Structure 1
Amino acid sequence: MAFEYHVAKNGSDLSEGTEQSPFLTINQAASAAVAGDTIIVHEGEYREWVKPKNSGLSETRRITYKAADGERVVIKGSEQIHDWEQLEGSVWKTSVSNDLFGDYNPFKEEIFGDWVVYNPGRHLGDVYLNGKSFYEAENLEQVMNPSIQTEVLDHWTNKVVPAHNPGQSKYDWFAEVGENKTTIYANFHGEDPTKESVEINVRKCCFYPVETGVNYITVRGFEMAQAATPWTPPTADQPGLVGPHWSKGWIIEENVIHDSKCSAISIGKEGSTGNNYRSKRKDKPGYQYQLESVFLAGQAGWSKEKIGSHTIRNNTIYDCGQNGIVGHLGCVFSEIYNNHIYNIALKREFYGHEIAGIKLHAPIDVQIHHNRIHDCSLGTWLDWQTQGTRVSSNLYYRNNRDLFVEVSSGPYIVDNNILTADYALDNHAQGGAYVNNLIHGEMVHRKMLDRATPYHVPHSTEVAGFAVTYGGDDRYYNNIFIGKESLKEVGTVHYNGYTASLEEYIEVVHQNPGDHEAFNSVEQPVYINHNAYLNGAESFERENEKITADQFDPDLNIIEEGDEVYLSFVLPDNFEEMLGSVQTTQTLNRVRIVDADFENPDGSEVTLDKDYLGEKRQEKSVLGPITKLQKGRNYIKVWG
């Protein structure tokens, strides 16, 4: 029989957990609930790290944690600090006992791990004034003298920029950790911390199991914030503010998640498969340790039967230092949709090669669709083993970069997306199908011949082989490319010199004797047709049917009106003269290296017959992500 447990701020952990006699803490309910049970949490702030103990048994026998209908329930990784002493001007200090932190003091723990590139001694701790996070100063002098402005290298744009966002007051803190106490100095700029709400983060996570294999959990309707999460590269344990910790079948939905020091939602791997060995042992490249983690994961039960298949939907995620959603290996077979992700890694307190709104390694058969991703250092980054992955009908804007696919052999699909950053796409992969997208911005295409990455038996975690990234084996159909005077390589021009069919490729490869050397030098086939190139965007030299309006400026704008977002741009008079066909498994040639077809995750034939708005495409329809696009001015609601 399924039970319903209740948690409320007027409860007691000695109670029975009923609606009339509720528990006080969520963890007490977690220790009681078993498969099929529901935990209802009532209004209030719960300052605890919820550690689910018991597992659900199936999709229909879950353990559900949910906020009571219509009630605001907040789970925080922080504690309030009231005892502040004014030092000088707007600078105050407080000393807290290290007992508050237990064995994990975020003000002692540095940002550390594989692929951390820039960190001038910053830590996992943070200070919040009325919910707004401060910046960590590099020394006490910067706190005492707020006029000192530091600069950092923005690694995405390669420009030196202010360490703080322009126009933002410099709210800084600095901490000194002693044997028994941690002293925090903070510049409150005229605010009185004894009268305002001031919090410091003390817990690593808000909702994350300690043990692995806690399956079939639903987390619904909470606000979760202010966790001291560590740096989460693919070669480390990857705890997030919330996540399943190497389990199967979680549903994380309808939550508001913010102010995670590093990552908000983690669907990544655990520590036994490697934990920052590159940075600790220093004896091998991180690349080598990442290869090893794939095989260690297999020994730890990495399979469709035991790991992944998570659903992340309808969440709002913002103000995190590294990722909105992160995961290596544990993300397989998952679905991520209808999430609003913004303000990720914009504080520039630290930098590394694992930062994005969504950053996934080995996203086998992961479906990422209908998300709104903006104001991020990078919108979505799919890295290693991107196979069976589909990125569909997502809205990207005001990101430093929109989409990055790296060292993968496909097949993967990018369809019906709106990408509007000046730096729209990094394609350091092969075996992709880009169909019916609107791409406004620079596109960078690179080979990666110095490191081979795994590919898999279709729809499985079983490794089938390894391959370097030769570049090409890509398909571009029915896209709209929009250039700009200051940008280069917008469109498909970077494929000039590539072969245009597998038959041609094989013929050229075998013109000279040898084995692998020829494959390194002959360009893989590409399949490119029925695209539009506007305002300086350039086409592949062998594209037969296309629309070109080199001097036509579409005047593209993304307009926010409250919770709604609109796409505004102009299309040339000849736009409707050429139509594109619906692409399917049958029309998208199978990828060369993996020798696999473009399919749905269940192995059925894929048909790209729905547009960005969910409208059915005719057998022939206009180019781009929205079927109702027309010549002249278009003004279309694309979110809300």
Structure 2
Amino acid sequence: MGVEYHVAKNGSDTGRGTEQEPFLTINKAAALAEAGDTVIVHEGEYREWVKPQNPGLSEWRRITYQAAEGEKAVIKGSERITEWEKAEGTVWKAVISNEFFGEYNPFKEELFGDWVIYNPGRHLGEVYVNGKSFYEAENYDQVVNPVVETEVLDRWTNKIVPAHDTEQMKYAWYAEVDEKQTTIFANFHDYDPNQEVTEINVRKCCFYPEITGIDYITVRGFEMAQAATPWTPPTADQPGLIGPHWSKGWIIEDNNIHDSKCSGISLGKEISTGHHYFSKRQDKPGYHYQLETVFAAKKSGWSQEKVGSHIVRNNTIHDCGQNGVVGHLGCIFSEVSNNHIYNIAIKREFYGHEIAGIKLHAPIDTQIRNNRIHDCSLGIWLDWQLQGTRVSSNICYRNNRDLFVEVSSGPCLVDHNIFTADYALDNHAQGGAYVNNLVRGKMVQRKMLDRSTPYHEPHSTDIKGISVVYGGDDRWFNNIFIGDDDLEDVGTAHYNGYTASLEEFIETVQNKSGSDHEAFNVVEQPVYINNNAYLNGAAPFDREEENFVSDADPSIKIIEEGETVYLEIELPEEFEQQSGKIHSTHTLERVRLVDVEFEQPDGSEVVLNKDLLGEEKEQESVLGPLSQLQKGKNRIRIWG
């Protein structure tokens, strides 16, 4: 039985840390807590960067940090500022000594790094009034007269989309930093900042070890907010508002995590294997530096024994500038489940190729399931080495894009999800199995013949080889595709011309003249497509033997009523005539290049016998993610 430390706002760090004599800071307890101990934090705001000093030793001897039951404990990376003075009109200014920030001044630190594409002078600082973040202006004049737009450019889809919060855009700030002081100008309009809760972020993180190897930590029940986190690409150090920092076995659960400048929860890599080398050196593509990062990590001990195996569950993650959950390499063998993720990267103050509600690189055997993801620039983006990765029973809506899988050879399993964005799926990978999903939206499938990426021995970080993405080697069974007059490329018709079995593929390759590798570049890999439904203009693969095709418009809607979410859909009378069998390891063809099966992380058989709501399915069941679907009008509770 471990020691129980208590922390409270009426405590003292000279106390004993008992319930009767609690500590004042969480860091005091973090310096003492050893394996098996628990730190209980009582109600109040704790403005500190919690840096755990000691690791747990196993799943059963972890160190637990938790909010006291029924009490609201808040950890903030910000400080309250109460000495604002009028500058002009509704613009106020605060003049702050640089000593206030120490070695890390977010208003001086520029948002910088690999794959940052659009960044008009943004910094890591932020201003908040009553919990609402401002917009950074490019100059002082834009503070006086803020740029307010009703529509903005989504830089990935290159489409104009409605601005997220036009009213909030008028609240702008700008900072000037010299050798001695930082001057922040902010337009508060009708607010008096000295009478409101006015805060600025000052710390990089809220709960993040400074050293690696702090294993087996549980963080439960906190609100954590307002951290000045930096840009986190896969080729750099990846600190989040909270994260394990290249450790093993963390559980992050039941927290409310929000207003991280860049990333909320990080399961990512640390600095020793590279840090923005492309941006700093510019001598070769970032892709090459990322490939070197993988091999460098492997040399330094990247393995299941050292990192990963984290659980991120039951959290609410929102209003972060880059990612809700991010991670490269350190996310292996992990679980991200039952989280509510929204309002990620929709302020559009900056843009780069590393933005999503969940953005993971090399998530080997990682399970992403039962998450509700909406109002994000991109819902889920999985990049490199999707081997044993499973995306199951997630609900995605009102995102600019829902799912992006990139430069991987599989096996990656995507089952029982709901994808409803106009741009539903980017598939720049191979070796995927897509089973019992509902997909309403554009689908893009591309080859990637100029970027070889690693693949691995089964359930291991050991590198077996590297490969480009030839396209194909995908499986599509029991899905419902829904088109729209304003949408294109919905369905599986983009696979027309691909071979339909491994035997056909091998025979075709053998009949090609030239060297052996050239033939593999021109013969389309096999695809396995059957028993799908295509509605309202969605188009099937021309060699699909069994399917259901209808021009009927199912009038699909996602309805929110408080914290409860419903799917409304009207299916044609003939819908139930088409059914699909339960798929498993035995029915999903092995992936060709990696030459491994679709399995559970422990190597056992995977059986897709439960729907999105966890209900057992019959051997022959209706298509799509929900066993309750039937002809006519459906209204099914899918969350809450």
Q: Give the TM-score category using the shorter length.
A: over 0.9
Please name the residue that 2:65 is paired with. Answer: 65
Matched, 1:211 2:211: yes
1:522 corresponding residue in structure 2: 523
Which consecutive unaligned segments of at least 5 residues does structure 1 have? none
Report the alpha carbon displacement of residue 97 of structure 1 after superposing the two structures with TM: 1.0
Per-residue CA deviation, residues 232-262 of structure 1 (Å, 9 max, x unaligned), is 0000000000000000000000000000000
1: CA distance, partners of 2:169 / 2:227: 23
Residues 178-201 of structure 1: CA distance to partner in whole angstroms, max 9, x if unpaired? 111100000001110010010000
Q: CA 1:586–1:457 in structure 2 vs 1: closer, same or farther (change >3 Å)?
A: same
Cα distance in 2, alignment partners of residues 147 and 578 from structure 1: 53
Deviation at 1:167, TM superposition (A): 4.4
SS at match of 1:204: coil
Aligned-partner Cα distance in 1 for 2:150–2:632: 47
Is 1:122 matched up with 2:122? yes
Equivalent residue runs for 1:400-479 within 5 Å: 400-479=400-479
The residue that corresponds to 1:547 in the other structure is 548
Q: Is the 8 A contact 1:225 1:257 kept in 2?
A: yes
How far off its partner does 1:279 sit? 0.4
SS of residue paired to 1:402: strand
Query: Partners in 1 of 2:621 and 2:512 — Cα distance?
Result: 43
Aligned to 1:254: 254
Equivalent in the alignment of 1:268 = 268
Say whether 1:537 aligns with 2:538: yes
Matches within 5 A, 1:83-482: 83-146=83-146, 153-159=153-159, 165-482=165-482
Contact persistence 1:342–1:357 (CA under 8 A): yes
Q: Matches of 2:616 and 2:163 in 1, distance apart?
A: 47
Asked if the contact 1:226/1:258 (under 8 Å) is kept, the reply is yes
1:34 and 1:344 mapped to 2: Cα distance?
Answer: 35
Deviations 1:347-369, CA, capped at 9 Å, x for gaps: 00000000000000000000000
- Displacement of 1:578 in angstroms is 1.4
Q: Which residue of 1 aligns with 2:574?
A: 574
Measure the CA separation in 2 of the matches of 1:149 and 1:393.
Answer: 36
Task: Please state whether the residue corresponding to 1:298 is helix, strand or coil.
Answer: helix
Gaps of 5+ in 2: none
Cα displacement (A) at 1:63:
0.2
CA distance in 2: counterparts of 1:311 and 1:348, whole angstroms: 29
Question: Which digits, 9 at most, give the CA deviation of each residue in 1:455-480, with x for residues without a partner?
Answer: 00010000000000000000000000
Q: Report if the CA contact (8 A) 1:163-1:349 is conserved.
A: no
Amino acid at match of 2:546: E
Q: Is the 8 A contact 1:424 1:440 kept in 2?
A: yes
Partners of 1:142 and 1:148 within 8 A in 2: no
Q: How big is the shift at 1:156?
A: 2.6
Paired residue secondary structure (1:96): strand
- Structure 2 Cα separation of the partners of residues 80 and 616 of structure 1: 52
What's the offset of the Cα at 1:628? Answer: 1.1
Contact 2:205 2:242 in 1 (8 A): yes
| 1:273–1:597 Cα change, 3 Å | same
* Structure 2: distance between partners of 1:161 and 1:379: 16
Deviations 1:284-311 (A, max 9, x none): 2110000010011112221011110000
- Kindly provide the CA deviation profile for residues 307-364 of structure 1, in whole angstroms up to 9, marking residues without a partner as x: 1000000000000000000000000000010000000000000000000000000000
Instruction: Give me the whole-angstrom Cα distance separating, in 2, the residues matched to 1:355 and 1:7.
Output: 36
> How many residues matched?
639
The DSSP-based 3-state class of the residue aligned with 1:540 is coil
Question: Where does residue 622 of structure 1 map in the other structure?
Answer: 622
| Preserved contact between residue 440 and residue 482 of structure 1 (Cα < 8 Å) | yes
2-side partners of 1:458 and 1:585: how far apart?
Answer: 14
* 1:492-525 Cα shifts (integer Å, max 9, x gaps): 0000000000000000001023211100000000
Change (3 A) 1:366 1:639: same
Deviation at 1:222, TM superposition (A): 0.2
Q: Distance in 1 between matches of 2:85 and 2:148?
A: 23
Question: Is the CA contact 2:148–2:170 (under 8 Å) kept in the aligned structure 1?
Answer: no
What RMSD in Å do the two structures reach over aligned CA positions?
1.1
**d(CA) in 1 for partners of 2:31, 2:148:** 50
Contact 1:220 1:254 in 2 (8 A): yes
Distance 1:364 1:483 in 2: 33
Identical aligned pairs, as a percentage?
72
